Chains A and B, each alone.
Chain A
Amino acid sequence: MTAAATLAAQAPVVARRRRPGLAGWSYLLPLLLVVGVWIYLPVLATVVLSLLDWNLTSPTAEFVGLDNLRRLLSEPEFAQAAGQTLLYAVALLPFSTAVPLLLAVLLWARPGRASTIYRSLLFVPAMVAPVAVAVAWRFLLNPLNGLVNEVTGRVGLPAVNWLGDPAWALPVIVVVTAARVVAFNMLLFSAALSGLDRRAVEAARLEGATGFEVVWFVVLPQLRSTTVLLGLLSVVLAGQWSFTNVSVLTQGGPDGVTDNVYHRIHTLGFGYFETGMASTASVLVLVFFALAALAAEAVRRRRGRS
């Protein structure tokens, strides 16, 4: 793509017709309709529902103001779920940054057929149905005669009820979730690496830098923004990534130790039919995300200035 062509592409082609606005909006309408109706309308509806006492089916709903918030915050289960959402975020951080970054750099360092094959294989966990992954682990971790206990037993370790033991359940969910995160982010780091300035790498090579030095001083600095972005995304998305595994493997148990806010919203809304409390939890999540986005934007601006 030449610069001239890209520049030309910036210029609208059909905008000067007689009533371009109207025609343009008719092309935009389907998008605005589906996003408006199925994303933004639900955002507003969640706020309204959070102020009502309602059970999802009853014909009448009572306005209770912030009472749902008071009840939610006094509920120990929600505090626990919120804390564990952060725990998931921290525990998954290396699997969304360091590990996939290392793999992507390894793949990038020796381009060729082997590298392409490895990349395709490493991405498979992102393709396998998430429920199937959960089932596979349930089989391996079976407390009676699953492979993991079989192997740990042979080296003399006691059998563990991996998914039923409050000490082990959350780490297990993290490990089960990790493969998918590593696979996805490996590919995203690869994408960032493919846009890397290769001249700097060539120059460093000519200067006689070792492979390690090239990676450390030339490659990694160029990946800093991608790493920060994926790290932030991981903090934000960890709870969502683990949702399927929590839902299939533990339903939040034992004793709620694998619960997170997203699974709690689901339990409150569709398990207890506490529509108001579930919506209040959703609003808290949305507010948290809005604040996080504003903070990220502020950090980005300050960086841009200095």
Chain B
Amino acid sequence: MAGRELLPDGAGRARVGGLLWHLALCGAVVSLLFAVVWALLSSFRPTSRIYGLTPSWPTLEHYTRVLAEWPVATLVGNTFVMASAVAVGQVVIGCLAAFALVHLTPRARRPVLALLTVSLAIPPQALIIPQYLMATRLGWLNTEAGLIVPQLGSSALAVLVLVQHVRAMPVSAAQAARLEGALPREVLWYVVLPALRPAIAAVAVLVFITTWNEYLWPLLITPRTEDTTVQIGLSQFVTAEGTDYGGLLAASTLTSLPILLVYLVAARRITDAFMQAGAR
């Protein structure tokens, strides 16, 4: 590892430098994660001792209570359906558009990409009133369609990332396919999509996580608890049971758990996916 270090260091100084390096990063990790970790640990403490610093045996009382009284399964189910549908929808829309912009209508590329970049810069809060009006007129209040379809409008980032990948693809195979008289949809299906698989996975994960954590739109379109997402369910819990901290902390741990478990398994891939999208 020492050989791969990019910064020069004398042999003796390297150890001190390494120690400082670990100290600095450990410090950063602790200060960024302290609140969340403390809340997680406290969710296992009995109500009488939930505050304070005295150690106590862990208990699952808050979890059993929350699981019995709070529709966790429904909320997680709703959120899962929403996040998967938005991820699949944006990926499908994005693959079709990226393929078209690179291979079918290259002249439309610049204006369409400009349109998308502008749409990325528009603050979502500035559009909530007309979006809400449109969705309610369609009868989508408290429905999955209301949660999903309007969020497909934020496909810009997915498309921009996919366009970049399609452009960077070597096309000899695609050209060969064209020479043999393949239709565009055949080129897309047999040549472009297989090569695009890693990028598609990265974009899908990215969209899934951002949609899972979305707050504002589900707050507006699904005010009813049994139709809403974990974020809104949890914020309603805060309003209703503001002082039941044991329950609140257990509920918020359960809310974050699915994403954190996914992250635990694939942290490297997920950070890579966000880095690729961010590099744009």
Contact = CB atoms under 8 A, between A and B. Distances in A.
Interface residues of A, number: 118
A265 B129 CA distance: 9
Residue in B118, B130, B134, B159 whose Cβ sees the most chain A Cβ within 10 Å = B130
Given A35-B153, A125-B32, A127-B260, A136 B252 contact: yes
A190 B275 contact: yes
Interface size class of B (residues with CB under 8 A): 35 or more
B6 A187 contact: no
B20 to A, nearest CB: 10
B97 interface: yes
B196 interface: no
Main secondary structure of the interface of B (DSSP, over half): helix
Interface in B213-227: 213, 215-216, 219-220
B198 to A, nearest CB: 14
Contacts of A285: 123, 125-126
Contact of A188 (B1, B94, B187, B278): B278
A79 interface: no
A150 B231 contact: no
B279 A191 contact: yes
Nearest to B237: A135
A138 to B, nearest CB: 7
Interface string A1-36: 110011011111111010011011101101110110
Contacts, number: 344
A28 B33 contact: no
A8 B104 contact: no
A38 B153 contact: yes
Given A30-B92, A136-B249, 10 more contacts: A6-B167, A14-B184, A27-B104, A28-B96, A35-B153, A135-B249, A150-B53, A184-B274, A244-B216, A248-B238
14 contacts: A5-B170, A17-B184, A23-B184, A24-B104, A28-B112, A31-B159, A124-B260, A124-B263, A129-B213, A135-B39, A201-B6, A248-B238, A262-B125, A270-B128
